[in-house]
Copies of this chain bind each other. A is one copy, B any other.
Amino acid sequence: MNDLFSEIDDIFHSRSLAIYGVSRKGGLGNILLQGFIDQEFPKIFIVNPRITESNVKIMGIPVFSDLKSIGEPVDLVICSTHPKFVRDIIIECGENGVKVVIIFTAGFGEKNEEGKNAEEELLKIARKYKMRLIGPNCMGLYCPSSKLSFFPALPTESGSLGLVSQSGSIANLMGFLAMLKGIYFSKAISFGNGIDLSFNDFLEYLGDDPATKIIACYMEGVNDGRRFIDLVKKIKKPIIVWKAGVTPAGSKAAHSHTGSICGNNKLWNIVFEQYGVIRVYNLEEMISMIQAFIKPIQVTNCRVAILSGPGGPAVSSADACEMNNLKLAELTNETKLKLQELVPEFGSSISNPIDLSLQVAFDPMLEINAYEIVGMDPNVDMMLIWLSMLNPRYKDLIKLQEKISKPIALVSAIDVNVSRDSFSGTMKRFIQIRAKKVPKIIKDMNQKGISIHPNEHLAAKALYNIYQFYNKSKKSIVLKQ
C-alpha cells in the first residue's frame, strides 16, 4: 500500500462534509445532499453565502454562510454551484484545511478551451493547499460502509463490487441495476473530467482495496495508457471494462462528454485480451459479466453441457456456445445411460445439448436430477442451463453446486425481476417467485458461481470469459508459474 492508497482511503473515510449549492428552492445540490441523508452520513453541513441568518436548516441540515463559520474541521466538500463560483470555493476550502473537494459542477474542460484553462487553475490552487480534487463534471463517491453517496436511495448494504465510471449517469444506473440483481458495492467512483484524481488512481486504489473483490469500469479514455496497462497487468482481481467511444462517432461524442481521447479500438482489444480484462459493450452485458465474476469457479477447460427443457432453446444455445469459442462436452457413456433412465423416451435428447422435454413442466425433480448427473460428468467443465423463467428449483441448484462446483450460467428469457402484475389473467400463475425475493436469490446464486442471463449469448460469453480469465490471459500464465 502506497501513499496514493492511503490518501484515497482517507477520502473514503471522511468524517465530516459540507455541500455548496443546496438552496431553499431545491436543485441538483439538494439531490446530492439527499444521497448522504439516505445513507445517514453522521456530520453534514450546508454552505450557502446567500443565507446569512443563523440557525437556518434545509432538509434538516444546518446552513452556514461560509466554511469557517462551521467552527470545526470539514474533511470533504461537495461543490454543486454555478461554475463561476468554483474557483473561490476551492480557495476557501484550501484555506480551511479541507482534504478533498468533489466538483459536481460541469462546464469546464468538456466545454471548451476556456474551461480547460479554468481546470488548470483549480488544480494549481489545490496543489498549493495539498488538497485533492475529484471532478469536475462528476457525481463523486458512493461507499455504503462509510455512508458516502452520490444519489438518493442507493442501497446501504455493502458488497464486493468496486466501480470506476467516467460517466455519472452510468454510475447511477449501475446502482439501480446492480440492486435488482442483488449486487452490492464496496465503492463506486464517478470522477468525470478527472483533472486531479482520475481513472488510473481509482483503479489502482480498488486493486489494493481489501473490500473490493471485483472491479467494473466505464471508461471513455485514459490519460496515461502505459500506467493503465501496468495496472491491469498487476491487479489480480477480475476487471470488467465497458470502453465506450470505440467508433469515430462514439469517440467524438466522448470528447464532448468528458473531454476524453479514446484511442485505437484494436489496441484496446489487444491489451484487454493479453491481461484478462473482460470487455463489455453495454449495461446489460456489464451486469451479466459482474454476476459471473462475483465468485468465479476456476476451470482449466471449456467443455460446456447445455441443458434445456424443452428443446428449441438448446439449438440456439449450442450456436451461442460455438460463437463464443466454447466446446460442447462429449458426455460419458455412464452419463448418457443415467440420463436415458431419467428422461422421457420421446421428445427428449440425451446427447449434448440435452433436451429434457416438456415433461419438466410436471416433474419438478427431473431438472435437478439431470443437472446432478450432467454436472458430475468428468467431461463437463461448465453448464449452460435454459430455465424459461426462474423457478423454486434454484434452491436445489445452489445446494447441488456444493457437489458439482463448476461454473453455471442460467438463461431466463423472461427477466427475473419482471412483475407478476405484468401478466394478465391466469398467466400470472407461471410466475412462481415474488419479485421482492429475486435480488436475494440472485445474490445467493452468484455466491456459488451461478449467474443468470437474459439470453444464451450472454450466458455463453460469461462462461467463456471465466475460462479465458483463468487460462488465456498473460495474467493467468504469470499466476500459474
Listed in ascending order, the chain A residues whose CB lies under 8 Å from chain B are 26-28, 31, 38, 82-83, 105-107, 111, 137, 152-156, 165-170, 173, 176-177, 179-180, 218, 220, 242, 244-250, 252-254, 256-257, 281-285, 306, 308-316, 318-323, 328, 345-349, 351, 353, 355, 357-359, 361-362, 388-389, 413-415, 417-427, 429-430, 434-436, 438-439, 454-457
Q: A176 to chain B: which residues have CB within 8 Å?
A: 389, 413-414, 423, 427, 430
Cβ distance A15 to chain B, nearest Cβ, rounded Å: 24
Given contact pairs A137-B347, A421-B435, A257 touches B311 in the complex (Cβ within 8 A) = yes
Give Cα distance in the complex from A388 to B306, angstroms. Answer: 33
**Residues B415 and A312 in contact, CB atoms below 8 Å apart:** no
Q: A321 to chain B: which residues have CB within 8 Å?
A: 249
**Residues B27 and A314 in contact, CB atoms below 8 Å apart:** no
Q: A353 to chain B: which residues have CB within 8 Å?
A: 253
Given contact pairs A250-B322, A361-B31, A422-B180, A310 touches B169 in the complex (Cβ within 8 A) = yes
Copies in the complex: 2
Q: List 12 A-B contacts (CB under 8 A).
A: A28-B362, A152-B426, A153-B427, A167-B311, A169-B312, A179-B427, A249-B319, A250-B318, A253-B318, A281-B320, A283-B455, A419-B421
Given contact pairs A422-B438, A430-B176, A456-B282, A253 touches B415 in the complex (Cβ within 8 A) = no
Further 15 A-B residue pairs, CB within 8 A, beyond A176-B430, A281-B457: A28-B358, A83-B346, A106-B357, A167-B310, A177-B414, A179-B424, A245-B315, A245-B319, A246-B319, A250-B315, A250-B316, A254-B315, A281-B319, A284-B413, A420-B435
Give Cα distance in the complex from A426 to B40, angstroms. Answer: 14
**Residues B422 and A315 in contact, CB atoms below 8 Å apart:** no
**Residues B418 and A388 in contact, CB atoms below 8 Å apart:** no
Chain B's closest residue to A310 (CB) is B169
**Residues B316 and A257 in contact, CB atoms below 8 Å apart:** no
Give Cα distance in the complex from A153 to B424, angstroms. Answer: 9
Chain B's closest residue to A26 (CB) is B362
Cβ distance A321 to chain B, nearest Cβ, rounded Å: 6
Given contact pairs A244-B312, A361-B31, A284 touches B165 in the complex (Cβ within 8 A) = no
**Residues B153 and A425 in contact, CB atoms below 8 Å apart:** yes
Given contact pairs A169-B388, A315-B253, A420 touches B422 in the complex (Cβ within 8 A) = no
Give Cα distance in the complex from A422 to B176, angstroms. Answer: 10
Q: A281 to chain B: which residues have CB within 8 Å?
A: 316, 319-320, 457
Give Cα distance in the complex from A414 to B417, angstroms. Answer: 10
**Residues A346 and B423 in contact, CB atoms below 8 Å apart:** no
Q: A426 to chain B: which residues have CB within 8 Å?
A: 38, 152-153
Give Cα distance in the complex from A347 to B312, angstroms. Answer: 48
**Residues A257 and B153 in contact, CB atoms below 8 Å apart:** no
Cβ distance A330 to chain B, nearest Cβ, rounded Å: 12
**Residues A439 and B413 in contact, CB atoms below 8 Å apart:** no
Give Cα distance in the complex from A435 to B436, angstroms. Answer: 14
Cβ distance A451 to chain B, nearest Cβ, rounded Å: 16
**Residues A358 and B314 in contact, CB atoms below 8 Å apart:** no
Q: A418 to chain B: which residues have CB within 8 Å?
A: 180, 415, 417-419, 435
**Residues A423 and B319 in contact, CB atoms below 8 Å apart:** no
